Structure formats: structure tokens, C-alpha cells
Structure 1
Amino acid sequence: MNNLLCLFKVIVMILCLRESIYVNGFGERAYFSDREDNNPAYYISPALQKLEHAPEFVKDWPNISITLGQVSGVTLDNAGRVLVFHRGEHTWDEHTFTNGNIYLGIGKPAIQHKTILIFNETGELLDMWGDDFFYMPHGITVDSEGNVWTTDVALHQVFKFNATNRRVPAMVLGEKFVPGTDDHHFCKPSAVAVLSTGDFFIADGYCNHRILKYNPKGQIILQWGTHNSHSPFSLNVPHALALAENSGVVLVADRERGRVASFRHDNGSYVTSYSSWLMGPRIFSVAYSPVHGGRLYVVNGPNGVVPVRGYVLELASGRLVGTFDAPAGLASPHDVAAATDGSAVYVAQLAPHAVYKFVDERLRDEAPPAPPAPPAPPAAPPATPATLAGAVTSRGGRWAGAAAGAGAALCAGALLLRGALRRARGEPRH
């Protein structure tokens, strides 16, 4: 009996230690700690070989002679047309802003090139507009009604253009050239995502590190986001947004935390995070397709640790299932967009200035995905950062949480069994 009790003591110690490791979020960050070679590069090639290499690069797309500037954004409309947002003759570098985030080009002309180019799926240029208006383009999206939404980090503003007037915005949020932290100002806003209801989200990315939700009239409904904390609500440059309406979530490319964070789009509650040592510590953009139960298309950025390329993840499990890259490599991808059926993926790159197309022909023949589910019923008020500050899923996602829960359950079970053995031996309870 003494030997059996000693054995269970050892099991208890091991399980409790394992559970503690998961709770503290070390699961994936300790990936290399028990290897002889702690260099991640040693494991990258074998890991990539295990993934499906799809979608595949399309050569000579788009077929144009137009000179692009830094390509900051790419998106698709409901007809499958591709909108490319670029910076023309303007460049964002260390001389663009003051330390207080004031644009140093105030008083100089706006970009004279047409900054928004529209292509069909074969790469033919259909239209272009957006000249003499923007100063430092960043994010672009098209809503279900065909309105084009853009952000400009120099202007610190967000714009909505309808289909009948591309010169005068139908909605303007923020004050021209004035950064701020209140409800009426942004500081280098990075992205917009629009629900089918007309409600929309803005990632106020580079300075305020927050997500704001608005109704169709441009009135704030809610906002969330903290900085420099261990809460899952802590964001460090929310750089891009995507919507998985059929799953009820908004996805945030949390650039400097190296994750895609998922929040309920009705109330902002935290759901989970997606990250991987193979994707590295910087995630620049995310796109979503409902194909195969939901897929995320992610591009990372220069990080000095792992290759810069695209990845495909399952929404439900967070499992990496695919990877994609250009023949010459992706140097500085900035945005990614995916067709609804997942058959085409587009990547915008800052330098060299380019937009790339990737295709997965197998998905074209599959049945179209089911339409979005109806809105979820009203839920409890959004959780605050304080209530989830110790959440296990802040780094490891749902798998770390599951492992932690399993470890805790096994640990508790072992303790109960140990108590039962003691009682069988007549030992006192403390």
C-alpha cells in the first residue's frame, strides 16, 4: 500500500506541474526547450512539408503595366472583383510621422495617382479611382451593398464611398490629420469590417490598440482593447480584420502579439486565439472563407525567426493545414483577401510593390457554402478585461485551455484517489 501511495504522489506532482505549465501559457513557447537543437530553423522545413501546399501561385497576375506604390490593402466585392489599395508616390518610413503621430506631410499634395485599382479575376484592369484624396492608404473592404470603406493613417480617418460617388465620401469618421484617443478621433486606424446588418468594426490600430463597433449611422455601440497587459483583450497593433458571420465572430490580426484573436461580433466577448511557432511572432493580416467548415488565411511578416509566407488554418480547431508562397518568396506581405469559396486568395505586398494571386482549383467544383446563420440571440454584456485577465486561452487558444482543464481534472482526481487510499488505511483527514 505504501508503494502504491508513493506512486500516486508522483503522479499528482507530475499532473499538477503539467497543468501549471499550461495555465501559464508556456505550451507552444516551450516547443523547442526539450530539443537538442533550440534553433527553430532546424524544424521549419519538416514542419512545412507536413502541410498542404495550396493555394498555388498564379504567374503574371495582374497583367498590367501600371506602376504600383506600396500596396497596403486588397479585398473582393460580391461580384468577385479585386480591389487593390496602394500608396502611389507616397512612402511610409521613419520620416513620415512625428513622435506624437502627426503626419509630417501636412500642407503637401495628396497622392496624385489613382490609389484604388479594380481587376477582374483574370487580372484585367476594369477601373481605377482615388486620386488627389489619400495621403497614406492602409485598409480597404467592400460591404454587401457595394460600398467601399478605407482607412488612411496619415489623415487618421475612415471613409465610406458609395457606388454612385467615388469623389465625395458618404461617411467620414475622425478628424483630418488630428490623432486622438476619444470617441471622435483615431490614431492611425488600420482596418474596417462590415456586417451584413450594416454594423461595422474599425481597428484603431497603431496607437490606441482598440476595436470599435458602430451602427450603420456611425454611432459607437461598443469598444474593447487594452495594451501591455496579459488579458486576451490586450492588443498590440490590431492590424487587420475579417468576419466569420456564420460563426458569429470578428477576427483580429493582432500583429505584434503574433496571433489572430477571435471575438463575438455581437458583444465583443473573447472567444479564442490562433497562433503557431511556425507562423512566428508577427501576424499582419487574416481573411476568412466558410469553405470546409471555415478556413483562415493568414500572412505573417518579417520577424527574423521563421519564413515570411501565407498559412491556412481551420477555424474550429486552429490546426495548420496549408501554406502558400510566391516563387520568389513573400518579402513584406501586408494584407490578404479570400474568395468566399476559398478558390482564390490575394496578397498585397509593400515591397517589392505587388499584389499576388493564388488559386485552389479543387474548391471551384465544390458546392457553395451555406448562407450565414441568423444572428445569435441577445447575450450577456461583454466581458471586461478584468474578468478574463487570467484566461488560459490568451496565448494558446482553445487547445491550451482544453489541456489545462484536463490537467486540472486529472490532478484533482488523483488527489481524491489519494484521499480514498488514506481513508482505507485509517489515516486522519486534514
Structure 2
Amino acid sequence: MRAVEHNLDNTYSWVDKLRLCLVTLNIVKTVILGKIIMSRTLFTLSIVVLTQLIASPVFAQNEVLVKGGQDPFGPYEPIAGWPNDISTIPGSENWTWGAIQGIFAESADRIFIIQRGVLKKIDRPEERLIEEQGTRLRFPTGRNYAWRDNTMPWRDATQASPDHNNDHGWDQWEGAGYIRDVDASWEHCVVVVDREGNIVETWDQWDSMWVKPHAVYVNPFDPEKHIWIVDDYAHAVYKFTNDGKEIVQTLGIPNEAGEDEKHFARPTFMTFSEDAMFVADGYVNSRVMKFDHDGNYLMQWGQKGTLPDDTRPGYFNALHGIDIDQDSGRVYVSDRMNNRIQVFDQEGTFLDQWRVGDPPSDVQYLIVSNGSVWIMDGGTTKLLKYDLDSHFLDSWGTWGTFPGGMWGVHGMTVDEEGNFYISEVNTGRAQKFVPKDGAKPERIIKRVNPSN
């Protein structure tokens, strides 16, 4: 019977299957009515055929097959013009978004966005010839046809924004020819928008403290919904009251890197379990640090790997994303420069690993949700879906600066309504995607783990 099942699944077109289904139904009908006498074997075979046809994906799928088209945004529709520009803040009319490091949806009505200051708001330059290189180049590209307008980038926000807010960061940035408070300004590093994209909060009172805000979260197991912000170059993680008026705790010693249990060295992201939290101490120390919910140090694991492509368990090169499967308790880590995912239990025991791909693949961030691991690949500009055991299931995404295109995705989050958000360092924007009507549920990232 297995051979019959296999052939039905792989040999016949859906039209053939439909014809077979009709024939089989007629045979079964005939047998039931007693018009012919059939052997037990043939009768059994007809029932098997009928069962397989009904179970076929052709008959099981919900969508109606249509001609043509493609799927650049997967199961979502991008919301053009979301969020409103920084220039809508009174007094900031001449500024726009800078390199947006992170994003977190506390709810569909309160979304946090963090960035490395703001950039001068200027219109896209008109295309012109550039002859300084001894040959004729046209810049910006992509303006010869109306449909290409604004599809190609003309400013890299992560280069135009200062990398970090200290003497070294500003000296480095100004050495590249930029002018402080003319090309960029270190302000509006933390803003909050509502579902329509209106800027409803600015945490400007903390702007001078930030060195390089990198990620923002709410602990889903915290009834007071404190806000956690990881500051990469400050080597610290800050815990705020939900309204941002007060810092209630600091992990690490600000502006002091180190390797012991009291220090970080450029931490990147964090995640939460029911009784602990895990910080990816990521760019330099290459380790996972575990704390209880009161911020008490518990343990750590991991060490610096060798480049390129270290395959040893527990060795990292840029530990850049971390999340937990709340059902199994497994900790999933994106080992960015080794371009792989490593899996551990909450005591640091290695369980599994898989490679995401060869260059230009570049593992940036991940979300574990509803039995799946969703990985943002910055090199291929694809959102990749795997099951918890590493099997590849789905992907979508396209490069560009138009609504729904992506360039330099550095963070992502989902809300309780299934809306999907990303932050982009290169484009210098956040984007919101809403599920399409009729989208397959398995293609939608669900907020099973509220820390996403």
C-alpha cells in the first residue's frame, strides 16, 4: 500500500487526482448498491485511493489556486508610511530617523523604537552624473523609470549615524567627514508609537546617557511591565519603570567592560523564562549570562570561537540573538559570524546546532514561536522558518527601500494581534506588516512567547 500512496502523491497532477477520485467514488457507490461483486483486495484498494485523494494537499488547502503572481511579503501586507517621521515631533522638523537598532511591541497600541540619534531630513537627490572617479557614474540609481523611484537606497543610515555616543565614537564619525548637529544629532534615541504610527512618547531625558542602545524588551512574567534596554557600548542593561521616568536597576557597570560576573563587554540581546533571564553578552565576551528576575547572577556559558566557521558547541563569534521555547525551555542562540543556530538547555548544556547557509547568508536575529524558529537573514534579506529540530519550512522577503522591502534588519517583534514589526539600521526605518486576509495561520508569527 505504501507504494500506491507514494505514486498518488508524486505522479499524478491534481486534475488526474480529481478524475481518479470520481472513478473511485463510482466504484464504491457501485459496490454499495450491489451492482457488481468485487474482491476484498480491490475494494480495500479503492478505499485507500479515496482516502489518499481526500487527504491530498490539493483538497486540503484553503486557498483557491490562481494564475501568476508572487509572494514577496509572505503572508503579510506592509503598511506604507508607518510610523510617522521624526519631523512630526515639535522642534525636530529638520530631522528624520537614524539607524534604528531595535523594536519591541508591548502591545499593538504601544511600540518601542530605539535608534542611534537622528539624521538630517533631506529630499532624495536628483539623479546626476558623477565624474570624479574618472568615469561617468549616475547617482542615485533607479530613477530612470517611475516604477523604480525610491527602490534603491541613496543614504546608508548606519554609516551616516554616529556608531556610539562617546569621544571615540564621535571622533571616528567626524573623521569620516560628518559634522555634528548638522548631519546627525544624538536625540530621540527612545520613542514610542501607537498602532497608527503616531509618536506618543519620547524618552529624551535619557539621551545623554545612551552610548549605543541596541535592544528593548518587556519581561512578560513581570506584572509591572518594566522596560529593559540593552546598551551595547555602555556594557550595561537598564531596567526602567514602564513610563520611563526612573531607572530601577542596572546590570553591569556602565562604561566599563569586563569578563567577570559583574561586567558585560558589548551585550546584544536578552530573553526571559518564567524564573530567569538570559543576556547575550555578545560582541566581545561571546557568552550567555543567566540571572534571576531580581537581577542576581546565576551562571554563564560560552566562549570566543575562531574565525571563520567554528563548529564547536558553545563557541561563538558575535552572539547576536537569543530566545527561548517556553514549552521545552530550550535556549536558541544565533551565532552570527559562524552563521549557525546553537541550542542549549537553561543550564548551558549543548543540545543541537544547525548551519543557516553559506555567504551571503548572515544570521541577525531570531524569534521562537509556536513550535517554530524564525530567523532574519540580513545577507539574503529573507525571513526563514524552521521547526525546532532545524528543518527548513518557509521563507519570504525582498531587498529594497520601498514599503515591504528590507535592508539591514536588526530586530523584529510581534504583537498580540499578529502584526509583525522590523527595525532596519541601513534604511533607517521601522516597518509594520499586518497579516493578509486568508493567510495560512502557520505562516504567521504568533506571540506565544510575549518577550518577542
Shorter-chain TM band: 0.5 to 0.7
Report the counterpart of residue 155 of structure 1 in structure 2: 234
Distance in 2, matches of 1:178 and 1:350, equals: 25
Match of 2:260 in 1: 182
Q: Structure 1 residues 77, 271: closer, same or farther in 2, change over 3 A? A: farther
Task: With the length of structure 2 as denominator, give the TM-score of the two structures.
Answer: 0.60
How do residues 342-357 of structure 1 correspond to structure 2 at under 5 angstroms? 343-357=418-432
CA–CA distance in structure 1, aligned partners of residues 322 and 109 of structure 2:
19
The structure-2 alpha-carbon separation of the partners of 1:353 and 1:275, relative to structure 1 and needing over 3 Å to count, comes to same
Aligned equivalents of 1:345, 1:279: Cα separation in 2: 26
Aligned partner letter, 1:352: T
Give the Cα separation in 2 of the matches to 1:274 and 1:81.
Answer: 35
Matched residue type, 1:192: M
Q: Distance in 2 between the 1:119 and 1:61 partners?
A: 10
Q: Distance in 1 between matches of 2:202 and 2:431?
A: 18
TM-score when scaled to structure 1?
A: 0.63
Quick one: which of 100, 105, 110 aligns to 1:71?
Answer: 100
Map of 1:237 onto structure 2: 318
Q: Distance in 1 between matches of 2:195 and 2:112?
A: 11
1:17-96 pair list within 5 angstroms: 53-66=74-87, 67-78=96-107, 81-89=110-118
Instruction: Give the alignment partner of residue 299 of structure 1, picking from 367, 370, 376.
Output: 376
One-letter amino acid of the counterpart of residue 158, structure 1: V
Alignment partner for residue 209 of structure 2, among 114, 133, 139? 133
Q: Quote the RMSD (CA, aligned, Å).
A: 3.6
Residue 73 of structure 1 contacts residue 85 of structure 1 at CA under 8 Å; is this kept in 2? yes
Q: Is the 8 A contact 1:259 1:282 kept in 2?
A: no
Look up the SS of the partner of 2:267 in the other structure.
Answer: coil
Residues 340 and 215 of structure 1: CA distance in aligned 2, closer, same or farther (over 3 Å): same
Amino acid corresponding to residue 57 of structure 1 in structure 2? P
Residue number among 349, 358, 361 corresponding to 2:433 in the alignment: 358
> How big is the shift at 1:339?
3.2
Equivalents in 2 of 1:268, 1:78: separation in Å? 31
Contact 1:57–1:325, Cα closer than 8 Å, also in 2: no
**AA partner of residue 262 (structure 2):** H
Q: Is the 8 A contact 2:266 2:281 kept in 1?
A: yes
2:376 equivalent to 1:258: no
1:70, 1:350 within 8 Å by CA — same for their partners in 2? Answer: yes
Q: Deviations over 1:288-336 (max 9, x none)?
A: 322xxx233221224xxxx323223333453231313365342211112
Contact 1:246 1:371 (C-alpha < 8 Å) held by counterparts: no
* Distance (whole Å) between structure 2 residues aligned to residue 362 and residue 202 of structure 1: 37
Displacement, 1:280? 4.7
- The match for 2:142 is none
1:283 paired residue among 351, 363, 366? 363
SS at match of 2:97: coil
* Conserved? CA contact 2:75–2:440, under 8 Å: no
Residue 95 of structure 1 and its aligned partner are, at CA, apart by: 8.8
The amino acid of 2:195's aligned partner reads E
Tell me whether 1:206 sits opposite 2:206 in the alignment. Answer: no
Residue 282 of structure 1 aligns to which amino acid in structure 2? D
Change (3 A) 1:65 1:370: closer
CA contact (8 A) 2:236 2:254 kept: yes
Distance 1:274 1:63, change over 3 A: farther
> Which string of whole-angstrom CA distances, capped at 9 and with x for unpartnered residues, describes residues 400-425 of structure 1?
xxxxxxxxxxxxxxxxxxxxxxxxxx
Deviation string, structure 1 residues 45-88 (Cα, Å, up to 9, x no partner): xxxx8999333433222133442111111112156632111111
Q: CA deviation at 1:179?
A: 1.2
Asked if structure 2 preserves the Cα contact closer than 8 Å seen for 1:87 and 1:137, the reply is yes
* Contact kept? 1:289, 1:338, Cα under 8 Å: no
Conserved? CA contact 1:297–1:311, under 8 Å? yes
1:354-400, Cα deviation, whole Å (9 max, x unpaired):
1112232358996997978xxxxxxxxxxxxxxxxxxxxxxxxxxxx
Determine if contact 1:253/1:259 at 8 Å carries over to the other structure.
yes
Where does 1:382-421 land on structure 2 (aligned, <5 Å)?
Answer: none
Q: Which has the higher contact order (CA 8 A, sep 6+)?
A: 1
Contact 2:399 2:407 in 1 (8 A): no
Distance 1:310 1:52 in 2: 10
Cα distance in 2, alignment partners of residues 282 and 336 from structure 1: 15
- Sort the Cα spacing of 1:119 and 1:181 in 2 relative to 1 into closer, same or farther, 3 A: same
- In 1, the alpha carbon distance for the partners of 2:218 and 2:163 equals 28
Q: Are 2:248 and 1:170 equivalent residues in the alignment? A: yes
Segment drifting more, 67-76 vs 84-93: 84-93
Asked if 2 retains the 8 angstrom alpha-carbon contact of 1:148 and 1:161, the reply is yes
Tell whether the 8 Å contact from 2:100 to 2:114 is kept in structure 1 after alignment: yes
Unaligned runs of 5+ in 2: 1-69, 88-95, 120-156, 172-179
- Counting matched residue pairs gives 309
Q: Is the Cα contact below 8 Å between 1:54 and 1:322 reproduced in 2? A: no
Q: How far apart, in 1, do the equivalents of 2:448 and 2:364 lie?
A: 28
Distance in 2 of aligned mates of 1:320 and 1:69: 34
Q: Does 1:323 align with 2:396?
A: yes
- Give 1:118's aligned residue: 192
| Structure 2 contact 234–254 (Cα < 8 Å) conserved | yes
Indicate conservation of the 8 Å contact 1:241/1:285, yes or no. Answer: yes
- The one-letter amino acid of 1:355's match is A
Q: Which of residues 382, 393, 396 is equivalent to 1:309?
A: 382
Aligned to 1:38: none
Q: Which amino acid aligns with 1:231?
A: R
Deviation at 1:141, TM superposition (A): 1.2
Q: Does 1:270 align with 2:350?
A: yes
8 Å contact from structure 2 (residues 105, 111) kept in 1? yes
Q: 1:134 to 1:50 in 2, by over 3 A?
A: closer
Identity %: 22
Runs of 4+ in 1 over 6 A off after TM superposition: 49-52, 90-95, 363-372
